[in-house]
Each structure stands twice: as C-alpha cells, then as structure tokens.
Structure 1
Amino acid sequence: MNTSTTFPRFIAAGEALTDLIRGDGDAWHAKVGGATWNVARVMAKLGIPSAFAGAVSRDCFGDELVEASRAAGLDLRFLQQNAHSPLLAVVHQTNPPAYFFVGDDSADLHFDPAQLPAGWLSRDIWLHFGGISLARPRLANTLLQLARDARAIGAKISFDPNFRVLMNEDYDPVLREMAQLADVIKVSDEDLRGLFRTDDEAAAFATLRSWNPQALYLYTRGAAGASLYHGDAHWQQTPPQMKVVDTVGAGDASMGGLIWSLMQHPQADGATHLRHAVAAGSLACTRAGANPPEAAELCELYKVLSATLLQTG
C-alpha cells in the first residue's frame, strides 16, 4: 500500500468509461473500460506501482470503475469521483463494430489535477496519455497542460492515440503536440489510416515521425507483427502462433509491455523492448476481454520470441 509520501511509478491520465454493448435482441451488457485506464491496469498487473488519473461518475457506473481499479491494485488517490453523468461508449453493433459516445458534460471532463496528491509529479515517473480523452476539448486542454508540465521537469511521457471516431480534423493539433511531447509513441496501422484520413500508411507514419524524430515508435500491424523505430534503427517481430480468443486490449497490453521493458531494462536494446511489447500483446489475445498478462508469463513468452527477432536498418 502506498503511503502519503510514496507515489506510483506509472500514471495513466485520461478516460475510464463504461462500454454498453448490445447483444442478442434487446440485451445490453455493461463492461468497464477506457484506453488509458486499461494501460494503467496492464502496468499494475506487471508489478509496477501504478495509478489512473481521471474522473468518473458518482453512480453505479462510476462505482464499478472504482471497484475495478481497486481490484487491479491501482492507487485510488488519483481517481476522482464527482456528481456528473457517466461517460458511456454505446456499442450498438459488434460485427462490424459501430459505436458512439454519450457524455456531453460527463464526469471525465471535470478531472482536476489540482486535487491530486501534493508532490506527485516528478522526473522519476512515467506519465501516459491517449484515447478519446484527448479528443474531448475541455479534458484535452487539461491533459495537454499536464503533459507540458511533465515534459518541463523531465518526466517520461508515453502516448497512444488509439484512433476513434471523435478524432476528426479538430483533433489534428492535439495529435501533433502530444507526439512532439512524447518520449514513446505507439500507433497501429488502423490508427494511421484513421488519424491521417489516408490509405497510405507509410506516408502517414513518416509524417508522424517527422514531428518528433527523437522519439521511440512502436508500430503494430495485428497478425502481421510489430516494428520498433528509434532514429535510424528499427526492429521487426512477428507474433508467435497462439490461439486467439479475441483482440480486445491487445494494443493496450503491447503498450504496457513496452513501457515495462523500458522501466525494467533501461539499458537494453530495441530488440529486447520489442519482444516484450509483442509478447504482452500476444498474451492478451489468448483470453477474453481486456485481461493483461502477469510479468512471469510475459518473460516466458519473451524467451520464445528471442529466437525469431529480425533487426534491420
């Protein structure tokens, strides 16, 4: 348990929400979620003292997110509850996915960094951003300032845009500034097509890298594997042959696996970090829902992948 003077090493700031998923007929199912919240859970499962910094509602939806955060071992000092409405993702069709968000003045928009524990922000932490939180102007302004403050004191910043339908032309300046602030950026092929509104993924990725050439980039392509880019060097890795249950949370797990590797093995090369990222994402696909791996199984699969890494560049 954290004391009043001990803070998490990893903090994800953004949205925690409830997915309302339509099943057969008129049946609806509620599931806790949120891209940034999921990454905080991944890091906690991997044994890193972690927190989610954001706000949820003071009702059945918010209470469930608080309890799920507690069960995940997150530091609850960073999770705020207020009397505003819940943020909901209404998934009215699953194949192919079709969804929209409900939350015009919802709790997440009222997140207040001034209410976080005094002295929490230091150069010794990782701070993660992404998801739809940065596509919601009021919250985006708050989070961008938080990222600027973190950059100013030398804290590490990771960023996974995680493209959603809210990210139109109005999101472009936020995308560019966050990319320029980040030390580590994860993006998928689907993200690139959506964020840059193009089918030319290579050109979109080149544009993204041009905004921050010094950053470390994790580029994932589903079953085709992933690549890691840093300066002029890059590494490629195909995933292992495993039975896929679903891909929910795989991207968040791979982001967590990469950050965990960077934190645990800061002197290692890109090959090592990429193996951990791919191992974490692959393990997430072997179980239903956003169910991240533990460090022991991550390390075991890492050993398997070690023999298949290809480095180029």
Structure 2
Amino acid sequence: MTDVLVFAPAPSLTVTVEAHPSGDEVHVHAGGQGVWQARMLRRLGVSVTMCCTLTGETGTVLRHLLDDEGVEVAAVERAGRGPTYLHDRRSGERVAVAEEQGDPLGRHELDELCSTAIREGIATGLVILSGPDGDDALPPDTYRRLAADLRTAGARVVVDLSGERLAAAVGGGVDVLKVSDEELQDDGLVADASPQAVMAAMRELHARGAETVVVTRASEPLLLLDADGFLEVTPPQLEIVDTRGAGDSLTAGITAGLVRGETVREAVTLGAAAGALNVTRHGLGTGDLETIGRLRELVTVRTLDEPAGLDEPAGRVSPDGLAALATPAPPEEITS
C-alpha cells in the first residue's frame, strides 16, 4: 500500500526536441498535472499510486515511464488516442508540431476509473484529485462524486482544480483546496486580485465545502484560510527559470506534510519550499529533498487579521461565480 493516491484521469505523453552541440536531442516524458504532483511526491520520499487511463500506444509508453519514476499505476486500459504533444524547442522557443487531447472517456471506462479511485483511495487514505489533459476527457461532476464518496469512505481529499471541476469538487466537500488568484479571476469568482477580494472568495469557498483553502498569487505571498483564520505564507524569492509546475509542487508538498502527520498549517511551508525550488528548474515537479528542506527554513508565516469590510458587497464573490459554485455542472452525456 502506498501513501497517496493521485487521481490523474488522462496523463500525457510529451515529446520535446531540443538542440544539442552534437545534434538534435529528443526527450520523452510522462506529463500532466497529476504526473507533476506524483513526481514531486516521490522526490519528497512519499510513495504514490496513480489512478489513470492509459490509451492506445501512448498509454503503453506512459506505463513504462511512470514505472521508471517509481509510481505505481492503477490504470484503466483502452484503445484509441491518448493526450500527447510533440514540441520543437531547437530555436529556443516552444513550437507545437502536434498536440492531441485524446478521446473522451466512455461511460463504462469512467465507471471503472471511479471504482478504481475509490478502492485505491480507501487503501491510501489520502487522495489528490487532479485535472485531465483535455477539457472534454470526463464530466466535471465526476469530481463532486469522487470527493463526496472518498470522504464518506474516510479518505482525506486534496484538490488542485479550477473552473467547473473546482465548483464540483467543493460541492462534494474537500479537506484542502489549492487554487491561484488568476484562476479565481478567470472563473469569475473575484472581480480583481486585490487581497480583500481574494480573501472574500476564500471565505465563500470555505463556507461551501473546502475545509482549508490555499491561494497562490504569483510572486506575492500565498494565502491560507482554515477554521482558525488566515495565514500569509512567504517562500524565498529565487531566480525563475520556468514557473510551470510550481503550483503542483506546492500541492505535492502540502500532501507530503500531511503524510508525515503535520497539520495543513505546518505542511504548507513544505509545499511553499517545494514550489520555490521548482521554478529554478527546467523539469516540472522536480527538486531534491535536502534542498527543499533547507528552503523550508526560509519560509515565513504570519497570521492575518480579518480585513475591514470583508463582508461588503465589493469584496464578495461575483454573482456569476456564486451561481457556478452553488450549482455544479450536470453530468455530460458520455458515449459507451
């Protein structure tokens, strides 16, 4: 039995071509949000099972790549096209040669995937629900059902989602929700990224089913809200190579802290350190445990008072955002 289950419904096969002094260099990796989270968890010494679909030839390759990274795979295998991309970076810029989101899950495949997630989630007791590569891979309401069922079965649920998937998961109830202020704006949950607006949205998400809400704010300190109030968490500011994967490393670090028996308020410092190191690297969800541990000592935390006027209308979640949260999207029709 592993420590954590990562629900990653549709991971990607990524192929990148880069220039090398002696000729072209081709890199083949497993990719996608759940993969990056699992990769960082492994760097932090946490054992991981990934619940996913493996589709066609790309799925066969993905299984080998995940095995090589030390990730146990609980997969639904199927024929068809899986999420894949081929990028050419020989010019120094990322040029998409081919990109494929893959085939949506059929009704029976989705049933099998959810059953696998519940079974493995009960075994680990701690689950990250991550999004698929491809907007149409599965209905958003899947996340509401999984969050509710896993918590009913006694598992803790961490989610790193946005849009309809975020709304659905919160409707089912989650232990930890991680989201960025940019995603809150894109989803219409805040009118702007001011601290007052973001904190009001966090209050609303907490009231609607997220026990702890963590919001990242680009180069600004991240914010945490739980039953005891707000925290401001400031990681060390390091030189940025690539910001992609930083949020997923944060989520993985928080989850690793929970595995160690820490509270979320304690675990968020590990997550902040993991995210801080990840931006200094080209590899997404990468880093080493010793460096992350040293960076954790540089993370500062302070309690925030409830800001004046938090309950005023100007600081609240927008009406459209409230409607989206109050009424999770209905299940979409899925072909068998």
TM range (shorter): 0.7 to 0.9
Shift of 1:281: 0.1
CA distance in 2, matches of 1:132, 1:120: 18
Which of the residues 296, 301, 312 maps onto 1:309?
301
Shift of 1:87: 1.5
CA distance in 2, matches of 1:74, 1:311: 37
Q: 1:132 to 1:89 in 2, by over 3 A?
A: farther
Deviation sequence 1:292-313 (CA, Å, 0-9, x none): 22333222211122xx332223
Shift of 1:279: 0.3
Alignment of 1:136-285 (within 5 A): 136=136, 138=138, 140-161=140-161, 163=162, 167=163, 171=164, 174-180=165-171, 181-196=173-188, 199-201=191-193, 203=197, 206-207=200-201, 209-213=203-207, 215-266=211-262, 268=263, 270=265, 272-285=266-279
CA distance in 1, matches of 2:227, 2:127: 22
The aligned residue for residue 72 of structure 1 is 69
Shift of 1:84: 1.6
What secondary structure does 2:244 align onto? coil
CA distance in 2, matches of 1:108, 1:55: 11
The aligned residue for residue 333 of structure 2 is none
What secondary structure does 2:122 align onto? coil
Q: 1:105 to 1:226 in 2, by over 3 A?
A: same
The residue identity in structure 1 corresponding to 2:169 is M
TM-score, structure 1 as length reference: 0.77
Which of the residues 8, 11, 14 maps onto 2:2?
8
CA distance in 1, matches of 2:100, 2:304: 45
Shift of 1:246: 1.1
CA distance in 2, matches of 1:193, 1:90: 30
Deviation sequence 1:144-202 (CA, Å, 0-9, x none): 433322021121001111x5xxx5xxx3xx43230232110001122112222764235
Deviation sequence 1:93-135 (CA, Å, 0-9, x none): 9989999963462569835237749953427511111324694
Shift of 1:143: 4.7
Aligned length: 290
The residue identity in structure 1 corresponding to 2:214 is L
CA distance in 2, matches of 1:30, 1:198: 38
The aligned residue for residue 299 of structure 1 is 293
CA distance in 1, matches of 2:270, 2:282: 20
The aligned residue for residue 12 of structure 2 is 17
Q: 1:17 to 1:134 in 2, by over 3 A?
A: closer
The aligned residue for residue 59 of structure 2 is 62
The residue identity in structure 1 corresponding to 2:36 is N
Unpaired segments of 5 or more residues in structure 1? 1-6
Larger Rg: 2
Which stretch of structure 1 is more off in the superposition, 273-282 or 78-87?
Answer: 78-87
CA distance in 2, matches of 1:265, 1:149: 23
Q: 1:245 to 1:189 in 2, by over 3 A?
A: same
CA distance in 2, matches of 1:245, 1:69: 25
Unpaired segments of 5 or more residues in structure 2? 20-24, 306-336
Alignment of 1:40-119 (within 5 A): 40-59=38-57, 61-76=58-73, 78-88=74-84, 102-103=100-101, 105-106=103-104, 110-111=109-110, 112-113=112-113, 116=116, 119=119
Shift of 1:63: 3.1
CA distance in 2, matches of 1:132, 1:138: 8
Q: 1:309 to 1:147 in 2, by over 3 A?
A: closer
Q: 1:62 to 1:301 in 2, by over 3 A?
A: same
TM-score, structure 2 as length reference: 0.72
CA distance in 2, matches of 1:263, 1:95: 39
The residue identity in structure 1 corresponding to 2:230 is H
Report 1 or 2 for greater relative contact order, CA contacts < 8 Å, sequence distance ≥ 6.
2
Asked whether the 8 Å contact 2:118–2:146 carries over to 1, the reply is: no
Aligned-CA RMSD value: 3.6
What secondary structure does 1:120 align onto? helix
Q: 1:19 to 1:209 in 2, by over 3 A?
A: farther
